[in-house]
A and B are shown apart, each in its own frame.
Chain A
Amino acid sequence: MTSVLADYFPVLVFGVLAVIIAGAMLGSSLLFGHQKPYAEKVSAYECGFEAFDDARHRFDVRFYLVAILFIIFDLEVAFLFPWAVSLSRIGLFGFLSMMGFLGILTVGFIYEWCKGALDWD
């Protein structure tokens, strides 16, 4: 399986380059910048008045709903990839099995549309 790894050598090069560039940006600003922090400078700027509260509020649960719906349709698309690649081999049965899968998820999609889970009022 060395050939598979050899195929991914350009990816490794890209990764190393990304680490080098990001490290150079962060490191050089750390090295060459003037850093004289004091209490006023590092405090949160809140448009003219003191900060009311901590910024770490609890998130609304609707973000979670959006994320989990995203995961489900992400998985649906992930199943479409091998299907599209080997559609010429699996024939009508493979096509119909994917249509059944999509139909099941479309039921859920219609349900969430009608329940208003996609609305963000």
Chain B
Amino acid sequence: MMTQIVFYVFATVLVLSAGMVVSARNPVHSVLFLILAFFNAAGLFLVAGAEFLAMILVIVYVGAVAVLFLFVVMMLDVRFAQMREGLQRYAPFGAAVGLVLLAELALAFSHWQVAADIASVPHVVAAPGRTNTAALGDVLYTHYVFLFEACGLVLLVAMIGAIVLTLRERPMGRRQNIDRQHERTAADTLAMMTVPLGQGVAANGGFRRPEQSYYIASVPGSYGVTAEPVPQGKPAGAAPADGAPESGHGADNHGGLAQ
């Protein structure tokens, strides 16, 4: 009795939230209703006794797939009013497709027959005393090994496909060559000066920039860095004499200083 009540609560909320997924005005709200639908499907799995599947549904679908859908929704340049315009036009097609699907499902389920010797099929009943997760693990890696390895191949194809489709060689930022950055010492980059009292910095050549370029430790070819490595080892006397501190501070010439 209790099981029936729980089932109908979960199923009702699942159907209602699935309806809201397609009818919500804001796509972000659709994704949130999709999360609610996932949670209720997990509840249905629990009612059926499939604890492991319920938890995996929550972890994988709510934790990862819903986030992916949110990213997809936010990547699209959605104009909400424009999206509503299409509803009237596409409603007949959608209804036709749905009707065909419904008819096919009705046909399939009306001729569905459970085999008479269902109990003799191997692994259809879990060994007594095994938990849900253990019963899955008993058959998944031995009896269904080909499907399992094929699943790994599908995941590999998804990974490579996602990389091929979305990875662009478009350097957006300046990357550091970590080894060269670690090799630098303070003496390579800084010059300590003794400034006489009362003279100020302008008389001593302005604010001193580093003896070598800032870019000496950045990856050649990354954003804003010329492809060939910058010449090293500027003599300390060749520090810029720009004079005014404003121009001497943080001028971004690439490839070396004060050429």
Told that A67-B71, A74-B60, A79-B151 touch, could you supply 19 new A-B pairs with CB distance under 8 A? A58-B74, A59-B74, A64-B162, A67-B67, A68-B159, A69-B162, A70-B67, A78-B59, A82-B133, A86-B133, A86-B134, A97-B142, A100-B152, A104-B149, A108-B155, A108-B160, A119-B175, A121-B173, A121-B175
CB of B51 to closest CB in A, whole Å: 7
CA distance A67 to B70 in the complex (A): 10
A71 interface residue (CB < 8 Å to B): yes
CB of A19 to closest CB in B, whole Å: 13
Residues from chain B with Cβ under 8 Å of A82 in the complex: 52, 133-134, 136-137, 140-141
B105 interface residue (CB < 8 Å to A): no
CB of A89 to closest CB in B, whole Å: 6
Residues from chain B with Cβ under 8 Å of A93 in the complex: 141-142, 145
Top 8 nearest A-B pairs by Cβ distance? A82-B137, A86-B137, A94-B141, A104-B152, A108-B159, A101-B152, A71-B64, A67-B68
A112 touches B46 (CB 8 A): no
CA distance A79 to B155 in the complex (A): 12
Task: Report B209-239 CB contacts with A as 1/0, cut-off 8 Å.
Answer: 0000000000000110000000000000000
Residues from chain A with Cβ under 8 Å of B82 in the complex: none
CB of A95 to closest CB in B, whole Å: 8
A residues within 8 Å of B by Cβ? 1-2, 4-5, 8, 56, 58-65, 67-72, 74-76, 78-79, 81-87, 89-91, 93-94, 97-98, 100-101, 104-105, 107-109, 111-112, 115-117, 119, 121
Please list 12 pairs of residues, one from A and one from B, whose beta carbons are closer than 8 Å in the complex, sorted by A's number: A65-B162, A72-B155, A81-B137, A82-B133, A86-B141, A87-B137, A91-B142, A93-B145, A94-B141, A105-B155, A105-B159, A117-B163
B52 touches A81 (CB 8 A): yes
A108 touches B156 (CB 8 A): yes
Residues from chain A with Cβ under 8 Å of B152 in the complex: 100-101, 104-105
B13 interface residue (CB < 8 Å to A): no
CB of B2 to closest CB in A, whole Å: 6
A1 touches B142 (CB 8 A): no
Across the A-B interface, how many residue pairs have beta carbons closer than 8 Å? 159
B76 interface residue (CB < 8 Å to A): yes
B145 touches A97 (CB 8 A): yes
CA distance A98 to B136 in the complex (A): 14
Interface size for B (C-beta < 8 A) is 56
Residues from chain A with Cβ under 8 Å of B68 in the complex: 64, 67-68, 71
B113 interface residue (CB < 8 Å to A): no
Residues from chain A with Cβ under 8 Å of B60 in the complex: 71, 74-75, 78
A85 touches B163 (CB 8 A): no
B74 touches A121 (CB 8 A): no
CB of A47 to closest CB in B, whole Å: 22
CA distance A115 to B165 in the complex (A): 12
A58 touches B75 (CB 8 A): yes
Residues from chain A with Cβ under 8 Å of B131 in the complex: 85
A65 touches B166 (CB 8 A): yes
Task: Report B67-97 CB contacts with A as 1/0, cut-off 8 Å.
Answer: 1100110111100000000000000000000
B102 interface residue (CB < 8 Å to A): no
CB of B86 to closest CB in A, whole Å: 20
CA distance A58 to B149 in the complex (A): 37
CB of B195 to closest CB in A, whole Å: 36
B49 interface residue (CB < 8 Å to A): yes
Among B76, B134, B166, the residue within 8 A (CB) of A85 is B134
CA distance A115 to B134 in the complex (A): 38
